[in-house]
Amino acid sequence: MKMLKKLLAVVLTGAMALTLFTACGGNAVNDKNIADALNDIVKSSVAAGLTKDYTFKPRTDEQAMAKAIAALSEAEWNTKGDGNNKFSGPVMKILGLNEGGKNETSHFVWCGAVIADEIGTTGQAHNVMNNILSQKAANADKLTGKEPGNIRYIGTALGTLTIHGKQTTVRFIVVTADAEDPQHPGKA
């Protein structure tokens, strides 16, 4: 009988551990979660009269760019350090912002990384809004007279960066929006 109780305790412990791991995997943050949280932030900002209305949608093109950036070494990824959302050559090429690149003059492009450890979807979304999207787009100077479209496409990928001397899990974010003529919204 004692052996049966011990066996039952081991089986129940294993089942509880499996449930815990399953719950973690089921609640993992993904592009759709981040997009939904960003949409909630925009809705509350619109209601407060702080911004115009626009919508975030996850898209595979942006996710592919984020994954390619996450795969770079830190030396290849690092920005030029001037705080104006300017990137190294490899990142510019991935984003299509290099000379003649597919996004150079057709889409507004924002890119950056936010800490992903222990802050969840809402925390990551707030960091994206405050630290990446609050800056002008990386190619805004080439899009004079244009405005970002109302649909903002987003893609993310997890990676690591050294922050304060410690390897830290970060979420690389790429957001694009069509460059539109403000006189004729919906047209480039």
- pLDDT per residue over 8-52, tens digit each? 344 334 444 433 333 343 357 889 999 999 999 988 888 777 778
**pLDDT, position 185:** 58
Identity of residue 105: T
Q: What letter does residue 106 receive in the DSSP assignment?
A: T
Using CA atoms, how far apart are residues 29 and 177, in angstroms rounded to an integer? Answer: 22
Identity of residue 115: I
Share of the chain above pLDDT 90, in %: 40
**pLDDT, position 44:** 85
User: How many residues belong to the chain?
Assistant: 188
Residue 72 has pLDDT above 60, yes or no: yes
Residues 6+ apart with CB under 8 A from 57: 35, 151, 152, 153, 154
**pLDDT, position 66:** 95
For the chain, how many helices (H) and strands (E)?
6, 4
**pLDDT, position 73:** 86
**Mean per-residue pLDDT, 61-72:** 95
**pLDDT, position 75:** 79
**Mean per-residue pLDDT, 54-78:** 91
Closest by CA to 160, choosing from 115, 123, 125, 127, is: 115
Using CA atoms, how far apart are residues 128 and 36, in angstroms rounded to an integer? Answer: 13
Domains and CATH numbers, the chain: 30-180 (3.40.33)
**pLDDT, position 79:** 56
Using CA atoms, how far apart are residues 150 and 54, in angstroms rounded to an integer? Answer: 4
* 15-24, 64-73, 76-85, 88-97, range with the lowest pLDDT: 15-24
**pLDDT, position 172:** 93
Closest by CA to 155, choosing from 63, 68, 91, is: 63
* 75-79, 149-153, 159-163, range with the lowest pLDDT: 75-79
**pLDDT, position 7:** 38
**pLDDT, position 188:** 55
- The rounded radius of gyration (Å) of the Cα atoms in the chain is 21
* pTM of this structure: 0.79
